[in-house]
Amino acid sequence: MSSHLVVGYGPAGAATARLLAEQGHEVRVVTRSGRAPEPGIEHLALDAAVPERLTEAARGATAIHGCAAPPLHRWATAWPPLASSLFAAAEATGAVLVLLGNLYGYGPVDGPLTEDLPLAATGTKGRVRAAIWEQARALHEAGRIRVVEVRACDFFGPGVTDGGHLAARVVPRILAGRSVSVLGDPDAPHSWTYLPDVAGALVETAADERAWGRAWHVPTAPARSVRQMVDGLAAEAKTGPITVRRLPPAVLGLAGLFSPLLRELREVRYQFDRPFVLDASAYEAAFTLRATPVEEQFRATVEWWRARV
C-alpha cells in the first residue's frame, strides 16, 4: 500500500482516486471546492496553484497525480502557476509527479500520433501544454523531480460528462432514440480514450520507474469515427439507427458566441475535421495495461448513462 495525492476531481481525477482506493492505497484528493468524504478517499479544499499548500498536502505521498486543469479559456494565465506548484511540491516531497496530458502540444500532424513527434503546436493552448512538459522534463533531467506525462485522446466512458464530445451532449440523446449533431467530420477516424484506461495508465506509470522521464500514450482502442461510435452505443442501447449530422460551421461560429468551450475548441478543430489517431504501441510494448475492448466500453457507458437519465 502506498500513499497518493490526486490533484483535481474531474472525470480523470475521480476515476484515478477511486481506482487507487479500490487497490487499497491511501488517497488524498485536493480541489478548490472540496468534496464530502468518500470511503477510502480524503478530500481537502485548497488551491493547488499555491505551492506551500500543495506541498503540505503532498507530504508522505509516493506519487502526485496531476489531474487538475483550469477552464480552457484561462489556460494561458492559470496553467503556469499550477504547473510550477506541482513541480515545487514534487521537488520538496520527492513524490513522483504523474502529469495527465493531452495531445494539443503536437499541433496538426499527418498520420498516427506517437510520443516522439515534436511538440510543434503554434496555438495558445498547444503551446501551454508543450511548455509544461518541456519544463517538467528539464527538471527531471536536472535531477530535481521525477516526472512522467501520460497523454490521452478525447475521454470516453462512464464518468465523462460535459467535457466529452461523446458524452452529455450525445449519449442521453442516443438513449432517447434522437438524432445527434457533432463537431467536425462524423466519418473521420478518431481515437477515444476510455476513462478507466486513463486511470489505469496513471496508476501503472506512477509505480514503475521505467516510465519516468518521458511521455506515454494511454492504450486506446482502434480509432472509430463518431458515426461508428454512435452506432455502437445505439446497438448496445437497442434504440435503432441514430441520425448523425455535422454541425454546420456557421452554427458553430454562432454557438461559440455563447459557449466558451466551443469558442476555445476552434484552435483544435483540426482534430475533428480529419483523421486523428493515437498510437500507444510504445506503452503496450513496455507495460501491462491494454485498452478495454470497445464492446465493453459501450456496455459500461450505456449502463452508466441509463442510471442517470
CB of 177 to ligand NAP, least distance (A): 26
Q: Which of 5, 12, 41, 183 is in the footprint of ligand NAP by CB under 6 A?
A: 12
How far apart CA 75 and CA 142 sit, in angstroms, is 26
Nearer residue to ligand NAP within complex by CB, 82 or 136: 82
How far apart CA 289 and CA 205 sit, in angstroms, is 10
- Residue 202 lies near ligand NAP (rule: CB under 6 A): no
Q: Which of 4, 5, 9, 158 is in the footprint of ligand NAP by CB under 6 A?
A: 9
Pick the piece of the chain touching ligand NAP (CB under 6 A) from 149-157, 183-191, 232-240, 253-261: 149-157
Nearer residue to ligand NAP within complex by CB, 234 or 268: 268
Residues 6+ apart with CB under 8 A from 205: 98, 148, 150, 211, 212, 216, 287
- Residue 31 lies near ligand NAP (rule: CB under 6 A): yes
- Residue 271 lies near ligand NAP (rule: CB under 6 A): no
- Sheet with 3-7, strands from edge to edge, namely 41-45, 26-31, 3-7, 63-66, 96-101, 147-151, 215-217
- Residue 11 lies near ligand NAP (rule: CB under 6 A): yes
CB of 290 to ligand NAP, least distance (A): 19
- Residue 42 lies near ligand NAP (rule: CB under 6 A): no
CB of 240 to ligand NAP, least distance (A): 28
Q: Which of 5, 19, 21, 69 is in the footprint of ligand NAP by CB under 6 A?
A: 69
Q: Pull the grid cell for residue 57.
A: 498536502
- Residue 192 lies near ligand NAP (rule: CB under 6 A): no
- Residue 155 lies near ligand NAP (rule: CB under 6 A): yes
How far apart CA 78 and CA 116 sit, in angstroms, is 27
- Residue 158 lies near ligand NAP (rule: CB under 6 A): no
Residue with the shortest CB distance to ligand NAP = 10
- Residue 175 lies near ligand NAP (rule: CB under 6 A): no
Taking a C-beta distance cutoff of 8 angstroms, is the pair 206, 65 a contact? yes
Pick the piece of the chain touching ligand NAP (CB under 6 A) from 41-49, 88-96, 113-121, 248-256: 41-49
Interaction site with ligand NAP (CB under 6 A): 8-13, 30-33, 47-49, 67-70, 82, 100, 102, 152, 154-155, 163-164
